[in-house]
Structure 1
């Protein structure tokens, strides 16, 4: 088992330290785990809310409104489920030493980008190129 890494509460990864050193990896591991816990807590609240709202509403307009709200909640819940899968994938990349490097170019992803979007798998340039290609090949 790895020794516990001490991180000051105000620690932020900096460009002047070795890229993806133990402290940076621990910072992102904690950030990802906290994000995942928050999503799971919200999901539990969503499920409770859906169970509470599963009552028979006699007014057709109220029922339609409630159905729309449920559909939106379920869509949000599905997005959260996919996000948890991406967080889990990022945590696996930390464990196997691939975290922080672009899956396309192999170059380091900027610390600012990772701090803003810790599940990022591509540098900003590679992501933009990917999105442009996707837009060109999308069936409209």
Structure 2
């Protein structure tokens, strides 16, 4: 692809139709960079909303209502903790886009593949490497 051509927004369908020789070209990298940046913004917004929600102190005299509110807060905090971990993976993926390593398996160096990256933009392993890792974990534990 010529460097002078402006990178346009493409759809997932157009991305999937691209030939293998175009794997992780400028257009594809830009597509995933934008997707990762959008994920990062959403995760940060959720964290801000949680912070605001938890700051709202409501004094409830009924112990059952208080327990319900505390359980909701605990669930929200667990969700945000998972999102915090995902945010770290998103930031690492953005760094890989920047360095040119995005889309390639960190174990084998093989392409991860567009369908897998569309499903999981933070993937660092090809499907085969991920399956081997999961099999090892199942057989030997963590």
Under a length normalisation based on structure 1, what TM-score does the superposition of the two structures give? 0.88
Number of aligned pairs? 137
Question: Are residue 8 (structure 1) and residue 17 (structure 2) matched?
Answer: no
Give RMSD over aligned pairs.
Answer: 2.1
Q: Give the conservation status (yes or no) of the 8 Å contact 2:9–2:31.
A: no
Aligned CA distance change for structure 1 residues 5 and 82 (closer, same or farther; 3 Å): farther
Gaps of 5+ in 1: none
User: Residue in 1 aligned with 2:35?
Assistant: 31
Under a length normalisation based on structure 2, what TM-score does the superposition of the two structures give? 0.87
Mapped to 1, the partners of 2:90 and 2:34 lie a distance apart of 11
User: Residue in 2 aligned with 1:67?
Assistant: 70
Mapped to 1, the partners of 2:7 and 2:65 lie a distance apart of 53
User: Residue in 2 aligned with 1:18?
Assistant: 22
Any runs of at least 4 consecutive aligned residues in structure 1 with deviations exceeding 4 A, and if so which? 2-5
1:81 to 80, 84, 103: 84
